[in-house]
Structure 1
Amino acid sequence: MKTPGESSSLTTRLVVAMAGPLLALALVLGLGGAWLIHGVVQRSGDRILAGSVGAIAETVALEDGELTLDLPPAAFGMLENSERDNVYYAIRHEGRLITGYPELAFPPEPPERDTVAFRDETFRGQPVRVAAVSRRIPRLKEPVVVQVAETLEARRALQARMVFGLALLEAALILGAALTARPALRWGLKPLARARASVEAKARAAPVELSPLPLASVPTELRPFVEAVNALLSRLEESTARMRRFTGDASHQMRTPLAVLRTHLALALREDATEQERHTALSEVRDATLSLERLLTQLLTLARAEERGALPALQRVDLNGLAAQVTADFVPQALRADVEVQFEGHEPELPIRADPVLVREVAGNLLDNAIRYHRRGGQVTVRVTSRDGAPWLEIEDDGPGIPREQRESVFQRFHRLPRDQSQSGSGLGLPIVRSLAQHMEAEVVLRDGTGGAGLTAAVRFQPWNER
């Protein structure tokens, strides 16, 4: 039994969706067909009735001042049928009955000359169809009115046969549609089955195949769905590639600090190790642990930065205030490294369109690099400024700088300058900065410091526009 909310098969849903309109259409066609059949039967019977009354009217004449009439057998013969309908007639002049059935009432309004008028009446307890015609006779002031009435059994029988035939045709149509609907829908849904088979084949493949589904033979109605699946496959491929890259990077970069940990732990555990050797080994273990912690933190930060759609919406951020907070947070590190840090703010505040957490991460990584790779006694300036309507965050140092030909390479993962190999670090700081900046539609550039000495790392943010 289906649980609430569980969807039925697509074929069943389409059959049910088609059944309602099809039955409604059959009902409309049946009612419309019955109305048309009634009209056709009525007009056919009226033509015969008009011929009969016309044939009788042609025989009316005036002889020796008296109206004469010769009822032709053909006038009533044409009204004969298998249902044996009764036929009545009446001929009147100036309201006076000449011949016929006196109970057949005079028409409420005399018909126009040579025009047959039809009406429905009840005669002797039976419904009848009456045809009346006025005939002008020379030397008579008033016309002669001829009426012929016929019961409706033949008309009803013919109409019933035609409606029954129409009902049989509609029933055959509905039955045929019911028998062919499912096979036709299955044939029409074959492209969907092929798409499902393609997805299942990718799921069974080892390793999992995430290439896009082919669009060449996909129908127009199914193309948006397949394109959406391809977009999902593309994102899964990117996510899988990031995961493989993360695990590969982590295993590669963690190998050295782990080796250091194993070596110095083994040294500290040696029974013949001196107290000084144990102290040195434990200091090295501490440094390796800190290096490993920083490496894992930066790897996770880079993985989150590269994850599309995982970041919050951009908002109004005071670049001046946030940069001042980050500068204050790094003062202890700068004091330990004997590096002077200065802050040059912007007045008034400088609002940008960004995310405060990401801006803090960008500023922190740039400031950490400036302090970490600087000489003792150096100087770092954190500057917030505005140029050409764009807000900038600049971190300038008077250290060795980065050669111009190397400034693009340092944005690659784990790339480090040859001179910095002895320094602690992972080579992930600038890649993290660029990735986070791109999420905020910001731009990171490296240029010479003031006077051509040192390096300035500058980030151009999007200004906040009040809407």
Structure 2
Amino acid sequence: MKKYLISLKSFIAFYSSLAFGVINFIVCFAVCMLFYIGIGGKIGGFWDGVALCAIICLITMALNFTLLYFGLKILFRPIKRLLGAITAIANGDFEARAERKIHRYRTDYVYMHELDELVVNVNKMAQKLQKHEQLQKEFVSNVSHEMKTPISSIAALSEMIEGGVSEERAVRYAASIGAEANRLSKLCTDMLKLTRLDSGAAVRLDETVRIDEQLRQCIISLSQSYGEREFELNLSPLSVRSNAGLLNQIWRNLIENALKYSRPSGKIFVRCCACDGFAQVSIKDEGIGISREKLDKIFDRFYQCEESHKELGSGLGLSIVRTALDLLGGQIEYESEPGVGTEARVKIPL
């Protein structure tokens, strides 16, 4: 399939050639006739010849202008439609779209011409801006909601303590305030990480990273917070050229999720190997699992599958994982069965 039905330069060249071809024909014909009439002695004098040449020039210019005017008028129709859409988008109307004329002969071509391709790309840009605006509004709304809950709890507990309670209750309320403060701190930290990843700053992929060693270190570190848990490791020595900081963040979030949502008596299986040009990592738990209808939403920001576990996280962990993997050129997929467990599979280019 060809890209264009006709390119703009071919279009302009065609009409210009046509116009100048007609002009040349008229001029040549007029000169020949003038020469013929002059030989026949039918020209009154020199000035009559000059007047005749002037008339021929005016007729030629009029024909040239007419041909180019209507030819370029056809060319500028999509430009006018495009200009209207761009103006609307510039004024903040991200629902605006440039009208695209569907030509009956365009079935064998991707675009009519370069302007048609530009119309398609402008519409794609507007669609992405509209989606970004929606995400931004949802993000602000979710942040407000998520921050309001711990702040309200801290305020209520503080008022109770100020109102006078027993020492035992004061200690318990103080512990609750500390927990809510930690939750708020984690939420702010996660939002900051996500904002940095969303900024689109260039990520250096020039570090040699031992994935198996990173996984071991993350397991040791997180085990101190979650107590003794049983892990089954199958870690082949595996090195990649990537970004150590982002990879470490990915493993910590995935392993921490496995620890949060698995049964205390359940195993957590972690393995890594090289296969088909990718470093492949699998983290599997024997936990509560995720239903199929919820599985498609787990990467949405602030989404949490289980309200009963809401206090354990901010709902941003997997969003951070997905964004980091996009920057690293990696992939992630989840497989889960309620009551059986969940497996996260990650691929990183070698």
TM-score w.r.t. structure 2 length?
0.66
Matched, 1:363 2:251: yes
Contact 1:409 1:415 in 2 (8 A): no
When structure 1 is superposed on structure 2, of 226-235 and 321-330 the one drifting more is: 321-330
In 2, Cα distance between the equivalents of 1:317 and 1:177? 65
Residues 201 and 461 (structure 1), Cα distance of their counterparts in 2 relative to 1, 3 Å cut: closer
The residue type equivalent to 1:242 in the other structure is L
Residues 311 and 335 (structure 1), Cα distance of their counterparts in 2 relative to 1, 3 Å cut: same
Contact 2:273 2:280 in 1 (8 A): yes
Query: CA offset at residue 275 of structure 1?
Result: 5.2
If you compute each CA radius of gyration, which structure gives the higher value, 1 or 2? 1
Per-residue CA shift, 1:315-360, capped at 9, x if unaligned?
57656x145235425634321321356765423x3437x6555433
Aligned residues: 320
Give 2:331's aligned residue. Answer: 442
The percentage of aligned residue pairs carrying the same residue is 17
The residue type equivalent to 2:253 in the other structure is N
The residue type equivalent to 1:254 in the other structure is M
Equivalent of residue 200 in structure 2, options 288, 310, 335: 310
Equivalent of residue 237 in structure 1, options 124, 127, 130: 130
Point out the structure with the larger helix share: 2
Give 2:158's aligned residue. Answer: 265
In 2, Cα distance between the equivalents of 1:198 and 1:282? 57
The residue type equivalent to 1:250 in the other structure is V
Contact 1:385 1:391 in 2 (8 A): yes
SS at match of 1:250: helix
SS at match of 1:461: strand
Which structure is higher in RCO with an 8 Å CA cutoff and minimum separation 6? 2
Per-residue CA shift, 1:193-234, capped at 9, x if unaligned?
4544455567779xx451423323899664233222211211
In 1, Cα distance between the equivalents of 2:98 and 2:114? 16
Query: CA offset at residue 290 of structure 1?
Result: 1.6
Per-residue CA shift, 1:31-52, capped at 9, x if unaligned?
x85996599469958xxxxxxx
State the superposition RMSD in angstroms.
Answer: 5.0
Matched, 1:251 2:155: no
Give 1:426's aligned residue. Answer: 314
The residue type equivalent to 1:235 in the other structure is K
TM-score w.r.t. structure 1 length?
0.52
Per-residue CA shift, 1:395-434, capped at 9, x if unaligned?
345x53526758826726423336x537522344345434
Matched, 1:335 2:224: yes
Q: Residues 18-417 of structure 1 correspond to what in structure 2 (within 5 A)?
A: 40=35, 44=39, 161-162=48-49, 165-171=52-58, 173-174=60-61, 189=76, 192-198=79-85, 200=87, 208=93, 210-216=95-101, 222-270=115-163, 272-273=164-165, 276-299=168-191, 301=193, 310=200, 312=202, 315=205, 318=208, 321-325=210-214, 327-329=216-218, 331-340=220-229, 344-347=234-237, 349-351=238-240, 356-374=244-262, 380=268, 382-387=270-275, 390-397=278-285, 399-402=286-289, 408=295, 411=298, 413=300, 414-417=303-306
Structure 1: runs of 5 or more not aligned = 1-16, 46-80, 83-153
SS at match of 1:391: strand
In 1, Cα distance between the equivalents of 2:100 and 2:348? 40
Structure 2: runs of 5 or more not aligned = 1-11, 104-111
Matched, 1:459 2:349: no
